[in-house]
Amino acid sequence: MSARNLDIRRLSGALGAEIIGLDLARQRDRATVAAIRKVWLEHQVIFFRGQTLPPAEFLEFAREFGEVVEYPFVKGIDGFPQITPVVKLEHETVNFGGLWHTDTAYLEAPPMGTLLIAREVPPYGGDTLFANLYLAYETLSEGMRRLLDPLQAINSSAKADVTKTREDRVRDGAKEDARKEYAAEHPVVRTHPETGRKALYVNPGHTVRFAGMTEAESAPILSYLFTHMVRPEFTCRFSWQPGSLALWDNRCALHNPINDYHGHRRVMHRITLAGDRPR
């Protein structure tokens, strides 16, 4: 199978595509996986509907795309430490990861990709937004690109807004070996190792300041970038159903789960794929 033989429906002009009609429990031959990867690299986030993948099969599918790594702060589900529960319960008001971010950008080698499968969804709401970081970079002025190209940014796990989004899950299932803070310095503009395209690589959840500058000095430019990178024309929106599965590229896409379903339960399972050090 080649990418042109897949049934693909684009979600927006910016990014995102749904691959229709594949049963990922059965159709995982080398050619199909290669075709899926090609579509993923082109569209940055891809989606599948109606997938019945119990944890062991979910892990098997993820490993077709890369090495699976554990999330540093929260224990995995029973028997599967590499599968992180992404849960909001009926009485909770804050959702896990509920702000624009790329996953664990505070690690020295942040994850290449993330897979998320829906187990239980609320009767309404709980969609996820995605944003194209290639477009975010390419639409900046030439002068702004010249300013940003050589800069490095400090990314931390301890920013107040993002720590609040994991408090409920840390309370219920904190990892004993987790540090209080992880921090890493990465290029503000990274080059994707597979596509060769440049992408803006800062995010509101983790980026604290530019290296060699104070937070106060960095704030005006970072504030502009955080607003610019999520302009509506750079985004797509996905509405989940039980069995929906997403695979997104953390090297060139932001995401933001919308917290608009208070009083209802949402249960997802997440797997992250090892990445390299951004360059």
* pLDDT tens, position by position, 134-173: 999 999 999 999 999 999 999 999 886 788 776 766 667 6
List the one residue out of 126, 96, 99, 168 whose CA is nearest residue 262: 126
Quote the CA–CA distance of 275 and 277 in Å, as a whole number.
Answer: 7
Tokens of 167: 């408090």
CB distance 161 to 99 below 8 Å:
yes
Residue-level length of the chain: 279
Positions marked catalytic? 101, 103, 255, 270
* DSSP-derived secondary structure letter, 214: -
Query: Which residues are registered as beta bridge partners of 132?
Result: 253
Q: Using 50, 70 and 90 to split pLDDT, how confident is the model at 174?
A: low
* Percent with pLDDT over 90 in the chain: 86
Determine the topology of domain 3-273 in CATH.
Answer: Double-stranded beta-helix (3.60.130)
Q: What one-character-per-residue DSSP string does 47-105 give? A: EE-S----HHHHHHHHHTTS-EE--SSB--BTTBTTSEEEEE-TT--S-TT-SSB-TTT
Burial of 263 (0-12, 13-18, 19+ CB in 10 A): exposed
* pLDDT tens, position by position, 19-63: 999 999 998 899 999 999 999 999 999 999 999 999 999 999 999
- pTM score, two decimals? 0.94
Q: Using 50, 70 and 90 to split pLDDT, how confident is the model at 74?
A: confident
